[in-house]
Amino acid sequence: MPEPDYLSVSTLTQYLRRKFDLDPYLNRVFLTGEVSNFRLRPGHQYFSLKDDHAKISAVMFKAAFAKLKFRPEEGMKVRVVGRVTLYNASGQYQIVIESMEPDGVGALYQALEQLKQKLGAEGLFTQNERPLPLFPKRVAVITSPSGAVIQDIMTTVARRYPILQLTLFPAVVQGTAAADSLVTQLNRVKAMGGFDALIIGRGGGSIEDLWPFNEERVARALVAMPMPIVSSVGHETDTTIADFIADHRAATPTAAAELVTPITLVDALDRLTQDRLRLVTAMRNRLTAQQDRLLRVQHSVVLTQPARLYDQYAQQVDLLKNQLQERLTVQLTNWQHRVAVAGASLQPRRLQGQLTTTAQRVAADQARLTHAMQTLTGRNRQAFAAAVEALDHLSPLHTLARGYSYVTGPDGTMLRKVADFTPGRSVTVHVQDGTVPVVVAPTERKRENG
């Protein structure tokens, strides 16, 4: 029996993949299931679809995923269209998804709710709450040039406020190119500047028709506008992201035109007339009040009897003068008394007595000083004599006078012991009245007793 041909794993996997790819039923599969193991990646997306009894791996390439109007979430039930194939590296079959939408809720509604949550969390819905000017001069309008929106706006403005200048920025408001067109016109309005307000809108339609006004890039372009925004997109029951971003929302284009013209030209002229009358009345009342004030000033005491202003000051000056005179008199009397006392103390007889007393005091002090100096000198002489006598008792000369002497060697050192005397060495004997040079004879050490 011949030995069978063994296949490699790669060969078998390629054969099975070819079976998958050539099967017409697997080339386009409509599948519903629950998203599992989903984690947003920067490129291709890898996750699973499952139901209560089975699970299949799924891959959605970057180009297909970028077309989604919503973001898949864990546990979301979806409907997908794709093809079933086999991945060689793992030998696992998978579905390559070409399109996907939520099951039970439209993809656009799902994407709209997700974008609402995202922009709302960033605070963009409450960022623009600017009031509209009372007397606008220029207003920009972004809408279709052929639709009824611009016609309604122009008709309303011509009726209510004909001096307002409207500038149309034509844009595509439906279809795949609409979002880019809206962003382009918003950037033009921002670059041109000088507008008091901006109206952006279009007529009613389905959510697909209104979808350009739900695009994130359109919303962020609206946030960056420097002027108040009025959104008039769809009918009153339609709500778009542009409505949440705008400062004001109008149910219809006519209502949008009425918002940017809060007062009609006739009302404005009437208000100007009323303001002029109020201003004239206020000025007249102001002039009347000032005239009354001028009359009161003219008849005041200050101007009619100016001397009365100084009456109290004159009395106060007189009072101060009297007080000054009294104080000067008292001070002068005190000085005169002090001069009299000083003059009495300077009389010749009294001065002679003071001089005699002072001379006696000086003589007594001098005698006491002389006696003290003599006493101190005697004490110092006695102390000095005692110190000299004590020093004399300690003097070596006094000892020599009693018959003692001492011997020094040639170098002047004193010789005290027998060992210091070397036979034949010259030494000097010191006595009371001089020195005696001698030569040392043989020495004999003194014997100890006992």
Q: Which of 170, 182, 248, 253 is CA-nearest to residue 211? A: 182
* pLDDT tens by residue, 6-20: 888 888 888 888 888
Among 227-231, 270-274, 392-396, whose mean pLDDT is lowest? 392-396
The whole-angstrom separation of Cα 405 and Cα 399 is 8
Model confidence pLDDT, tens digit, residues 372-415: 999 999 999 999 988 888 887 777 777 777 778 888 988 888 88
Q: Where are the domains of the chain?
A: 9-105, 113-263, 269-298, 399-439
Rg of the chain, C-alpha, whole Å: 65
pLDDT at 195 over 90: yes
Q: Give the phi and the psi of residue 436 in degrees, each rounded to 5.
A: -130, 115
Residue 276 pLDDT > 80:
yes
Say yes or no to pLDDT of 450 above 50.
no
The token duo for 378 is: 């005697």
Q: Is residue 225's pLDDT more than 90?
A: yes
Structure tokens at 375: 């006493």
How far is C-alpha 48 from the chain's CA centre? Answer: 50
Pick the CATH number of 113-263 from 3.30.70.1290, 3.40.50.10550, 3.10.20.30, 1.10.3720.10: 3.40.50.10550
The yes-or-no verdict on residue 335 having pLDDT over 60 is yes
Distance CA 30, CA 356 (A): 149
User: Residue 319: pLDDT band by 50, 70, 90 thresholds?
Assistant: confident
Q: Is the pLDDT of residue 64 over 70?
A: yes
The domain 9-105 is placed in CATH, from the list 2.40.50.140, 3.20.20.70, 2.60.220.10, 3.90.550.10, at 2.40.50.140
Mean pLDDT for the stretch of residues 290-303: 82
Q: How confident is the model at residue 446 (pLDDT cuts 50, 70, 90)?
A: low
Mean pLDDT along residues 216-226: 93
| 118-137: average pLDDT | 88
Q: At how many degrees (to 10) do helices 107-121 and 216-223 cross? A: 30
Q: 374: which 2 tokens?
A: 């003599």
pLDDT tens-digit series, residues 146-185: 888 999 999 999 998 899 999 999 999 988 899 999 999 9
Q: Which residues pair with 34 in a beta bridge?
A: 50, 77
Q: State the Cα–Cα distance between residues 414 and 46, nearest whole angstrom.
A: 120
| Region 20-40 average pLDDT | 88
Q: What is the pTM of this model?
A: 0.46
Residue 300 tokens read as 């005041």
Please report, in angstroms and rounded to a whole number, the separation of the first and last CA atoms in the chain: 145
Q: What is the pLDDT of residue 1?
A: 63
Whether residue 170 contacts residue 144, with contact meaning beta carbons closer than 8 Å, is answered with: yes
Q: Residues of the chain with pLDDT > 70: what percent?
A: 96
> Position 281: which residue type?
T
Q: Which residue has the higher pLDDT, 449 or 96?
A: 96
Top pLDDT among 84 and 351 is at: 84
Residue indicated by tokens 């778009």: 240
Beta bridge partners of 49: 35, 56
